[in-house]
Amino acid sequence: MKALSQKRRHPLAAIVLLALALLLTGGLYAVATATNEAKAETSTTYTATQAQEGEKLFISNCATCHGTNAEGTADGPSLVGVGAAAVDFQVGTGRMPMQMQGTQAQLKPGQFNEEQTDQLAAYVSSLGAGPSVPEDEYLDVSKGDAANGAKIFLANCAMCHNAAGVGGALTRGKFAPTLMGVSEKHIYEAMETGPQNMPVFNDANITPEEKRDVITYLKSQEVNNSPGGFALGSLGPVAEGLLIWTLGLGIILIFTVWLTSRSA
């Protein structure tokens, strides 16, 4: 008993207990995160035929940059584990295949129809688990809370996309695109997969219900007119101040020239 009591009072006992607590907490977090991701990964199922057709499309249109087995090359990243959602977003918005190499993929008319996009998504999702295309339940804005979505958007997205969701400039020629007119599905997939310069907001960061709230807020922005007259790009006081300064300075110059001509 005396020896056991001495071990309990060992100087390293506190460190050992802290390490065990950290390991336990990390393990529980990993299990919870894996559970959330597993729910997202298995919500969409594809047939073997879709995956086979998708592989043909991939080899013909995507393998040049991403490799014949989607393992990635110097011109394109690996697609193993990116999931169906990433493919549906990139191909569905026309960003992939890229028209040309640049700082980021440009939005353009899609090269593939919906059926072909599903086939490509089926093939890539067969290579490794990843986020799936969202269910319709999380795209129904009638079930969303725009007020809560505004809070989440302002805290996580507004610094790049602007508080009104109209986009903005980033560094080194990059930019955050406007979210006005973007489909509910593509907004959700962008949050889930983090395309271009955007961070990933998986279900552990923003739940599917909260993503729906964000989409509801953005859709409400599309139908709300600017209460102050000219929106000026919804860029806030900087744009408004610049306009007032420019107009005010112009009026002062015109008035000064008029007074000078009168005195002459």
pLDDT-above-90 percentage for the chain: 55
Q: Are residues 101 and 178 in the same domain?
A: no
pLDDT in tens, 92-146: 999 999 888 878 888 899 999 999 999 999 999 999 989 999 999 999 999 999 9
89 is an annotated ligand-binding site residue: no
pLDDT in tens, 1-14: 555 455 555 566 66
186 is an annotated ligand-binding site residue: no
Q: Which CATH number is 67's domain given?
A: 1.10.760.10
Q: Are residues 202 and 245 in the same domain?
A: no
26 is an annotated ligand-binding site residue: no
State pTM to two decimals. 0.71
Q: Are residues 151 and 215 in the same domain?
A: yes
62 is an annotated ligand-binding site residue: yes
CA distance linking residue 239 with residue 50, whole number of Å: 49
157 is an annotated ligand-binding site residue: yes
Q: How many domains does the chain have?
A: 3
Domain around 117: 48-127
pLDDT in tens, 165-174: 988 888 888 8
179 is an annotated ligand-binding site residue: no
- Of the listed ranges 29-43, 109-123, 190-204, the least confidently predicted one is 29-43
Q: Are residues 187 and 238 in the same domain?
A: no
- 3 in any annotated domain: no
- 40 in any annotated domain: no
